[in-house]
Structure 1
Amino acid sequence: MRMRLFAAVLPPPRAAEELAEVLGGLRDLPGATGLRWTGRAGWHFTLAFMGEVDDGLLPELRERLGRAAHRTPAFPLRLRGGGHFGRRALWVGADGEAATMRLLAERSLAAARRTGITVDAHRPYTPHLTVARAREDTDLRPYAEALRSFESLSWQVDRLCLVRSNLPVRGVRGEQPRYETVESWPLPDPG
């Protein structure tokens, strides 16, 4: 059996509430009804996307991700600003100890590779949380501009999560991916 997996950092409920409030205002902008807005349950910072992973690899993957978490100190983070990838994806960025988040992403990728999982070619890690997708080419600049001044309260990232992604059922209008945390590991206190 196979599962679609990724390593991630999840925002806490308080930061998600702040983001939901800001996005509520964006949904009133012209053209917003043409976007597919992601829900709170889908908000995450992907560190390493692994794709379809065979169940037999899970024990070793869990062990390696646990070691990656154990070697990475907890760090402060906040949701901040926004941007877009082309004309199809709108995102909110992160502010805080970006270097530590990049390190956790690199260690998560290395854990997957050493387990034997083929991961995408390495490119510079850009922490982002996708908040909307466009079905067709859309000018997302007004939305990114509206997010520019957004800044949530800071929190301490203290867990690395392994998340399973269940893709939406094809042909079911409004269906969104469903995510479940398979396991999580604490990051040590930096003090």
Structure 2
Amino acid sequence: MRIFIGIDLDLELKNQIFQLQEKLKPYVSKGNWKYEDNFHLTLRFLGEIEEGQISVIDGAIQSMIDKIKPFKLQLKGGGTFGLKSSTDESKGPLVKVLWLGVDGNMKALNELYFELEFALTEKGFAKDYRDYAPHITLGQDLRFSADIEAVKPYFKALEKSFMARELTLFRSESVGGRRVYRPIRTYAFSPTTLE
């Protein structure tokens, strides 16, 4: 099974992100857009694992979750990973990942990331050596029909705050040709004073 750990978003925020996505679609001639239900903030992608490892992951999360207090984040800005200009003048740039940025209490988010990373490596999972770049993926492999700069004002219109209150262990699976993220378990942060 394909597994990752992240912060799920509430339905209202997912809908607001979907509305932003709808405004961006006319600028894209082809590509894969994320489904509204799948919007989330990834903390750690674990990839393909055996079903028996779920209890090990659960133990890792349980060992650190009480240290984490709820904290506030904010959607802010957007950007791309893997932007490639086209050599064909009739085509716009190709974007590997179009994402929505995250700001707010980044100290708390990074502490959460490092606590989780430490707990997982203590349980035998390989360390992730990549820099953590928090973002919410909007689409992948998108071919823009216009200059990418044309969409930047849309990101500024969606600078919403939200509370991070729990971690979610997700299973990613293909259902009817569509990628679906299903929560397996959720882990509430320590119910103390909000930061």
Q: State if a TM-score over 0.5 links the two structures.
A: yes
**Aligned residue among 127, 141, 156 for 1:149:** 156
In the other structure, the counterpart of 2:166 is 159
Query: RMSD in angstroms over aligned alpha carbons?
Result: 2.3
**Aligned residue among 134, 138, 141 for 1:134:** 141
Q: Which has the larger radius of gyration?
A: 2
In the other structure, the counterpart of 1:84 is 80
In the other structure, the counterpart of 1:38 is 34
In the other structure, the counterpart of 1:59 is 55
In the other structure, the counterpart of 1:68 is 64
CA distance in 2, matches of 1:126, 1:55: 28
In the other structure, the counterpart of 1:104 is 112
CA distance in 2, matches of 1:66, 1:151: 34
**CA displacement at 1:124 relative to structure 2:** 2.3
Q: Name the stretch that deviates more: 124-133 or 58-67.
A: 58-67
**CA displacement at 1:167 relative to structure 2:** 4.1
The structure-2 alpha-carbon separation of the partners of 1:143 and 1:54, relative to structure 1 and needing over 3 Å to count, comes to: farther
CA distance in 1, matches of 2:147, 2:81: 9
SS in 1 for 2:125: coil
CA distance in 2, matches of 1:151, 1:142: 16
Q: TM-score, normalised by structure 1?
A: 0.84
The structure-2 alpha-carbon separation of the partners of 1:127 and 1:148, relative to structure 1 and needing over 3 Å to count, comes to: same
SS in 2 for 1:20: helix
Amino acid in the other structure paired with 2:45: F
CA distance in 2, matches of 1:62, 1:138: 44
**CA displacement at 1:141 relative to structure 2:** 2.5
CA distance in 2, matches of 1:64, 1:103: 15
Q: 5+ unaligned residues in a row in structure 2: which ranges?
A: 84-95
Amino acid in the other structure paired with 2:188: P
SS in 2 for 1:34: strand
Amino acid in the other structure paired with 2:108: T
Q: TM-score, normalised by structure 2?
A: 0.82
CA distance in 1, matches of 2:25, 2:154: 12
Identical-residue share of aligned pairs (%): 22
CA contact 1:81–1:93 (8 Å) conserved in 2: yes
Amino acid in the other structure paired with 2:7: V
Number of residue-to-residue matches in the alignment = 181
**CA displacement at 1:108 relative to structure 2:** 1.9
CA distance in 2, matches of 1:103, 1:138: 39
The structure-2 alpha-carbon separation of the partners of 1:143 and 1:167, relative to structure 1 and needing over 3 Å to count, comes to: farther
**CA displacement at 1:96 relative to structure 2:** 1.2
Larger fraction in strand? 2
The structure-2 alpha-carbon separation of the partners of 1:81 and 1:158, relative to structure 1 and needing over 3 Å to count, comes to: same
CA distance in 2, matches of 1:49, 1:180: 14
**CA displacement at 1:184 relative to structure 2:** 0.8
CA contact 1:8–1:161 (8 Å) conserved in 2: yes
Q: 5+ unaligned residues in a row in structure 1: which ranges?
A: 170-174
